[in-house]
């Protein structure tokens, strides 16, 4: 095989759908829209876990929200038949992530667990990834944020505090995944057990709308959940192969 052929075959291999199935993990989340109440506990849990800054009213007025998971709300119909639907929106950890191809410095890339990783230290702040992400889940540090003392004592030592000029977004709580992997290694296990990793948002969700786990493990909760007939991907047509699977809301008529 010539060099070009080798390159091409490797590339195709890489591009093959299901590429990540060859690895130990393909972290996946399902969100049941029939159970989500829009309460926002996940939003605050994520903010607490991941050192997401306080933005302040002025900056929010400028449209500079930072929450890595946000609840989108969509109304249908008019009074008295108005209905409100919620959908938690977070990084979908796309297997074909447009944000990854555009980053000139590879600050955002796909890791072997199928996570869309973000290397804050490497980011130069072009914000292209945010433009390319169709789900609008990337948030930029427009300035250095502050935690008036002693609020700073809450900061999670397992998570970096990002400086101005850096892009950030949901990591699927990668620090918790790491800890679970370390624990598994210490126990001499090859893989993390199902349920051992709970991202902050999933853990707090009182109505149990979210399930997180490894879809390469066909015994896992998440595997079962994502094979529910109600499963779908948001913006399927953009073909990003998301790792977040939504379960359709059930509408009873009459």
Q: Give the pair of three-digit tokens for residue 74.
A: 């969509």
Q: Does 42 bind ligand SF4 (CB under 6 A)?
A: yes
Give the count of residues interacting with ligand SF4 (CB under 6 A): 54
Contact letters for other proteins, residues 120-159 (x by CB under 8 A): --xxxxxxx-xxx-xxx-xxxxxxx---xxxxxxxxxx--
Q: Does 222 bind ligand SF4 (CB under 6 A)?
A: no
Cα angle 170-176-178, degrees, rounded to a multiple of 5: 105
- In the bound state with ligand SF4, the residue whose beta carbon lies nearer, of 66 and 129, is 129
Q: Cα dihedral sign for 141, 144, 148, 152?
A: positive
Q: Of 19-27, 110-118, 199-207, 214-222, which part binds other proteins (CB under 8 A)?
A: 199-207
Q: CA-to-CA distance for 196 and 104, rounded, in angstroms?
A: 35
Give the count of residues interacting with other proteins (CB under 8 A): 107
Q: Give the pair of three-digit tokens for residue 71.
A: 């609840």
Residue-level length of the chain: 254
Q: CA-to-CA distance for 233 and 92, rounded, in angstroms?
A: 9
Helix (H, G, I), strand (E, B) or coil at 148: coil
Q: Of 7-15, 148-156, 166-174, 189-197, which part binds ligand SF4 (CB under 6 A)?
A: 166-174
Which contacts of 71-76 are long-range, i.e. CB under 8 A and separated by 24 or more positions? 71/36, 71/38, 71/40, 71/42, 71/43, 73/38
Q: Does 201 bind ligand SF4 (CB under 6 A)?
A: yes
Please give the residues from 170 up to 199 whose contact with ligand SF4 meets the rule CB under 6 A: 170-173, 199
In the complex, the residues that contact ligand SF4 under the rule CB under 6 A are: 36-42, 46, 49-50, 68-69, 71, 88, 90-94, 97-99, 102-103, 105, 107-108, 116, 123-129, 133, 135, 137-138, 167, 169-173, 199-201, 204-205, 207, 209-210, 240
């Amino acid at each position: 095989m010539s060099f070009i052929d080798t390159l091409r075959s490797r590339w195709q291999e890489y591009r093959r759908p299901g590429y990540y199935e060859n690895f130990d993990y393909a972290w996946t989340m399902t969100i049941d829209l029939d159970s989500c109440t829009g309460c926002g506990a996940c939003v605050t849990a994520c903010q607490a876990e991941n050192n997401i800054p306080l933005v302040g009213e002025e900056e929010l007025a400028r449209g500079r929200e930072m929450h890595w998971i946000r609840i989108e709300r969509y109304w249908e119909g008019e009074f008295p038949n108005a209905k409100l639907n919620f959908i938690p929106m977070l990084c979908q950890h796309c297997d074909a992530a447009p944000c990854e191809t555009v980053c000139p410095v590879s600050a955002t890339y796909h890791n072997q667990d199928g996570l869309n990783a973000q290397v804050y230290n490497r980011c130069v702040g072009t914000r292209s990834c945010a433009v390319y992400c169709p789900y609008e889940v990337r948030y930029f540090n427009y300035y250095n944020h502050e935690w008036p003392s002693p609020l700073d004592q809450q900061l999670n030592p397992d998570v970096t505090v990002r400086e101005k000029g850096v892009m950030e977004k949901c990591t699927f709580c990668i620090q918790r995944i790491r800890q679970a992997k370390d624990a598994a290694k210490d126990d001499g296990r090859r893989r993390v057990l199902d349920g051992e990793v709970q991202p902050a948002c999933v853990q707090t969700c009182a109505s149990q709308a979210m399930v997180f786990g490894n879809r390469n493990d066909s015994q896992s909760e998440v595997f079962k959940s994502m094979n529910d007939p109600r499963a779908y991907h948001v913006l399927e047509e953009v073909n990003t192969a998301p790792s977040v699977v939504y379960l359709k809301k059930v509408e009873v008529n009459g």
